[in-house]
Structure formats: C-alpha cells, structure tokens
Amino acid sequence: MHRPLQESCTLQLLNFNVSDPHLVNKAFWRTCSFMLGAALQRVFKQEANLQLHSFPGPNIKSGSFVHDIVLGVQNWEPTKAEMRAISAEMVKLAAQDFRIERLEVDLDLATEMFKDLRYKSEQLPSIAQQHQNRVTLYRLGEHIDISRGPMVASTRFLGKCTVLAAHKLANEGVSDAFYRVQGVALPAGFALNHFAYGLLEQRAQKLNPARLPNEPFEEQRQMQLS
C-alpha cells in the first residue's frame, strides 16, 4: 500500500468485503504471521534465546496463522498465561497503528542486516538467486523480516486475535528446539459470536501442516501452495 508505483498501471484497491476475498484473506493471514514474529520478540526475555526462523505462506484452510521459532530450551510447554501475554502484545501492535512497509534491498545489504541472525542469513542466498540478487523485506516499526508479501497496509487492520498453541517440531542442536506458534484472528470491524469464535480457536490449536522450518526452502513450490 505504501509502495511507490514504478510504471503506468491499473490499480485496484481491495477490502475485506469484496465478493472474492481470497487474495485479501491471504494478505491478512500473512500480516498476522509477520505481526506474531514482532510480538514474540517483544514478549520473550533475552535469556530465552529466541530466534525467529520463518513463517510459511498462508493457507486459510489450515485454520491458523503461524510463525516458526527456535528457543534455547527443548521442553517449553507454554501456559495459558504465556499465550494470553503474546495475544495481548498482538492487540497492542494493532492499537499502535504501525505502517507496514515493503522494502526491496540487494543481497549485500540484506546480509548485513541479518548478519547476527543465523536462520535468516541461511535463507537469503536462495531467495536472492531467484530474484536477480534482490530480497524483499517488510517493516513494522523497528521489526523487519523476510517476506515476499503482499501484506495489509497497517497493524490496525487486526481485530480480535488469539495466540493459542506452540507445537514443538524438532530438537535443534544440543539445547535448542524448533517450535511452531499458531493463532487465529479476525479483521478489525468483523465480529463473531462467542461460540463461533470458540470453534475457530479449537481448530487453530491443531498443528498446522505447513512446510516445516527444517525442510529445504523452495520458494517456487511455496508460492504454488500458498
């Protein structure tokens, strides 16, 4: 939304009430995953050794948005209070109405930006190779992550949101482990009754079957699936 137009084109603005909301829903779901990464970084203390890995392409039918992380503990079983704290941070981000900005940088700059983040650094070469040595990033305040997008224009489009589960996927090295954090959300201005939203929450707790973070990253295949 905040990206300058580089050539003459026909611009169609989509909202959540269009007759075919598939593309809008995917952009919203992808934005939720992106915001979840920002929320996790805000909530976890430094001693947890949190590292954001990636978030798979959105699959609305799966029932949840996800963000895959690595923690410096192999037996994390999140409490309801911890899940509520992450959910509350998502709501805070929405209330702060951060612009979500698309950035396109060359591989050298991306490598410098993510030099201290092992998993991001490992993903950059294959992404840049498929895009003429360029990498697409998104920014929300001080939070920046890798994503091909698109996303919605602002965090204020997030309405009711619940982060519900963190599934352990695999051990990573001697002391770390991969976890898949999952949630469900509605766009701002949309409402469901308590029972209906509760059914969405139940479904979102089930392990999302998207590509695992320790599987080879194949962007072209990911684009086809999402």
- Are 163 and 87 contacting, i.e. CB atoms less than 8 angstroms apart? yes
All domains of the chain, ordered by start, with CATH? 22-97+153-225 (3.30.980.10)
- Residue 20 confidence (pLDDT): 65
Q: How confident is the model at residue 132 (pLDDT cuts 50, 70, 90)?
A: very high
Q: Cα-flanking dihedrals φ and ψ of residue 217, to 5°?
A: -85, 115
- What order do you get walking across the sheet with 65-71 strand by strand? 51-54, 65-71, 176-187, 158-172
Q: Following DSSP, what letter does each residue of 35-58 receive, concatenated? A: HHHHHHHHHS-GGG--EEEE-PPP
- Residue 23 confidence (pLDDT): 87
Say if residue 15's pLDDT is above 90.
no
Peptide bond connecting 150 to the previous residue in cis, omega within 30 degrees of 0: yes
For residue range 151-171, list pLDDT tens digits in order: 999 999 999 999 999 999 999
